[in-house]
Structure 1
Amino acid sequence: MNAHLKIRPDHLQRGAYLYIRQSSMRQVVENAESTRRQYGLRGRAVALGWRDEQIIVIDNDQGESGASATWREGFQRLVSDVGMGHAGIVMGLEVSRLARNNADWQRLLEICALADTLILDEDGVYDPASFNDRLLLGLKGTMSEAELHVIKARLRGGILNKARRGEFRCPLPTGLVYDHSGNAALDPDMQVRETIMHFFETFSRVGSASQTVKAFRAEGLLFPSRLHNSETVFRPLTASTAVRVLNNPRYAGAYAYGRRQFRRTIDGKKTVRARDNDDWLACIPDAHPGYVSWEQHQENLKILKANGHGYDTARASIPREGPALLQGRAVCGQCGWHFRVRYAARRGRQEAWYICDRAHTYRGEPRCQSIAGPPIDEAIGMLIAEQMTPAAVELALEVRQEILARHEEADRLRCRAIERAQTEADLAQRRFMLVDPNNRLVADTLEGEWNEKLRILANAREERERARQHDQFILDEAVHKRLVAMTVDFNKLWADPDTPNRERKRLLAYIIEDVTLVKLPAEGFTRAHVRFKGGKIQTLTTSSPKSSAEQVTTQPGIVELVDRLLDGHIYSEIADLLNQQGYRPGEAARRGRHDARFTSKRVAYLAHEYKLRPRYDRLRERGMLTKREAAVRLNIHEHTVARWAKHGLIASHAYNGHYHLYEVPDSNLPQKHCSRWDRLADRVAVRLENTSQARPSADVERGVV
Structure 2
Amino acid sequence: YAFGRTGQRTRLTEGRARTVGGRKARNEWSVLLRDHHPGYITWPEFEDNQKLLLENAHMKKNCARKSARGGRALLTGLMRCGHCGRMMRVFYGMGKGNAHRYQCRGDDAHVGSGLCIGIGGVRVDRAVAHEILDAVSERAVEAAILAAEQAERTRQDVIAAVRRELEQARYETSLAERRYELVDPAKRHVARELEARWNDALERAAQIERRLEELSSSLAASPPIDRNRLLQLAHDLPAAWNAAADMRSKQRLLHIVIQEIVCNLDDATNEAVLLIHWTGGRHSEVRVARVRSGRYPADGAPSAVKALRAMAGHWPDRELAVALNRMRCQTGDGHTWTTVRVREMRERLGLPQYVADPARPQTVTLMKTAEHFG
When normalised by structure 2's length, the TM-score is 0.47
TM-score normalized by structure 1? 0.27
Higher helix share: 1
